[in-house]
Amino acid sequence: MSIREELANTTVAFTSAEEKIVQVLLADYPMSGLG
């Protein structure tokens, strides 16, 4: 399972602010290095 899929399953209760932080953190990592 990819990290994106895990996040999709666990961030349902995230606020928009937390979601923004997650998106920024994901953008900072090379996607090829995840999952």
The confidence score (pLDDT) of residue 18 equals: 81
Neighbours of 14 (CB within 10 A): 13
The confidence score (pLDDT) of residue 21 equals: 85
Tokens of 5: 């899929």
The residue-averaged pLDDT of 13-27 equals 79
Tell me, what amino acid is at 27? A
Angle 19-2-13 from CA coordinates, rounded to 5°: 30
Where does the pLDDT of residue 31 fall: very low under 50, low under 70, confident under 90, or very high at 90 and above? low
Dump pLDDT digits (tens) for 5-14. Answer: 777 766 565 6
Distance separating alpha carbons of residues 28 and 17, to the nearest angstrom? 17
Distance separating alpha carbons of residues 1 and 17, to the nearest angstrom? 25
The confidence score (pLDDT) of residue 33 equals: 59
Neighbours of 10 (CB within 10 A): 9
